[in-house]
């Protein structure tokens, strides 16, 4: 590739932009994913980030939005999030005074992002009802949306949708329609390496104790492939675990167990049919890892 054809963002090579994003927003690793996100933005392709809880989908969306100096319109989806909330609605008292005008219209995040040429971040997209999801089709396809009684809204340059969702096997999710999926460029975010998770835990907690960092990350990662657990903990478990443990006596196994239960119990899920308490399972995991390290 010649110098004249090297892709740039704001005049800077992608690799330089990736380093800036990592430094400014404390992103560890994720070089490939960041490059793909930037390429999608340059190609004007809306992005769908899929991955387990805590893999950094929101962090990447906020980093991209802030880097491009755009306002971020954020929507956290649930099964009650209506199309009217996404697009906007008329304020009845204002309608009486002004009629059906823009002055009486309360803009929703979709209309605001389109009119401002900013990024719309749709978190938990597949928790929204299908009818709400489908409102996005025209905005993504043609850059327009029809607001009843007001007319067509055209997206300004810079309008960009980043959606994030958990894998479809998660409870209370609504499968995306083929038409909607077809309009996204898709990136799957996996859990990061053990070393990267140690770095993230250190950055987020300020803990410099290598024994604490190494051990809590290993325990947290062990929950992800434990037979009794349907879902293991994200990196948030390591962050909370190290943050709590630093104030306890780490020479006592009970401190590791108590802090581990506090940090991880709300971030894991037992398999169906497991007739054990979550505290028992976590104690077993923690003791196994501590024994491997000749701690017990």
What CA–CA distance (Å, rounded) separates 50 from 295?
A: 38
What CA–CA distance (Å, rounded) separates 149 from 147?
A: 6
Q: What integer is the mean pLDDT of 27-32?
A: 89
Let me know if 260 is exposed, middle or buried by CB neighbors in 10 A (0-12, 13-18, 19+): buried
What CA–CA distance (Å, rounded) separates 132 from 215?
A: 44
CA distances to 33, 115, 130, 197, 254 from 236, rounded to whole Å, are 20, 36, 30, 10, 21
Question: C-alpha angle 236/230/237, rounded to 5°?
Answer: 10
- How does residue 173 score in pLDDT terms, banded at 50, 70 and 90? low
Give the global pTM. Answer: 0.80
Residues 6+ apart with CB under 8 A from 122: 75, 77, 128, 136, 161, 162, 163, 164
The fraction of the chain above a pLDDT of 90, given in percent, is 47
What CA–CA distance (Å, rounded) separates 167 from 163?
A: 13
> Residue 214: what pLDDT?
95
Residues 6+ apart with CB under 8 A from 19: none
Question: 37, 60 in Cβ contact below 8 A?
Answer: yes
- Which fold does the domain 46-189 belong to in CATH? Rossmann fold (3.40.50)
Helix (H, G, I), strand (E, B) or coil at 25: coil
Beta pairing, strands 47-51 & 185-189: parallel
- How does residue 278 score in pLDDT terms, banded at 50, 70 and 90? very high
Number of CB atoms found within 10 A of residue 288's CB: 14
Question: 38, 9 in Cβ contact below 8 A?
Answer: yes
> Residue 215: what pLDDT?
96
Phi-psi region of 109 (alpha: psi -120 to 50; beta: other; left: phi over 0): alpha
Mean pLDDT of the chain: 88
Q: What integer is the mean pLDDT of 39-67?
A: 85
What CA–CA distance (Å, rounded) separates 123 from 81?
A: 12
Let me know if 40 is exposed, middle or buried by CB neighbors in 10 A (0-12, 13-18, 19+): buried
What CA–CA distance (Å, rounded) separates 144 from 130?
A: 19
Q: Is the pLDDT of residue 259 over 70?
A: yes
> Residue 169: what pLDDT?
53
């Amino acid at each position: 590739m010649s110098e004249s054809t090297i892709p740039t963002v704001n005049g800077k090579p992608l690799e330089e932009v990736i380093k800036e994003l990592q430094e400014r927003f404390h992103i560890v690793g994720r070089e490939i994913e960041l490059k793909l996100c930037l390429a999608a933005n340059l190609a004007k392709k809306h992005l769908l980030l899929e991955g387990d809880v805590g893999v950094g989908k929101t962090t990447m969306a906020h980093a991209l939005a802030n880097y491009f100096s755009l306002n971020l319109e954020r929507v956290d989806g649930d099964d009650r999030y209506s199309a009217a909330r996404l697009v906007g609605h008329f304020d009845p008292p204002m309608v009486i005074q002004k009629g059906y005008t823009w002055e009486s219209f309360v803009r929703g995040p979709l209309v605001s992002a389109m009119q401002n040429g900013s990024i719309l971040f749709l978190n938990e997209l597949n928790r929204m009802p299908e009818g709400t999801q489908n409102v996005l089709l025209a905005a993504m396809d043609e850059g327009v949306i029809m607001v009843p009684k007001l007319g067509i809204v055209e997206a300004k340059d810079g309008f960009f949708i980043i959606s994030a969702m958990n894998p479809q096997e998660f409870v209370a999710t609504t499968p995306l329609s083929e038409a909607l999926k077809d309009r996204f460029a898709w990136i799957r975010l996996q859990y990061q390496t053990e070393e990267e998770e140690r770095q993230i835990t250190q950055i987020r907690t300020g803990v410099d104790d290598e024994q604490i960092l190494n051990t809590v990350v290993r325990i947290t990662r062990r929950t992800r492939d434990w037979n009794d657990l349907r879902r293991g903990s994200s990196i948030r478990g390591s962050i909370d675990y190290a943050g709590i443990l630093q104030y306890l006596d780490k020479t006592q196994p009970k401190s590791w167990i108590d802090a581990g239960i506090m940090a991880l119990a709300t971030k894991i899920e037992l398999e169906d049919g497991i007739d054990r308490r979550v505290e028992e399972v976590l104690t077993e995991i923690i003791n196994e890892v501590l024994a491997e390290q000749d701690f017990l």
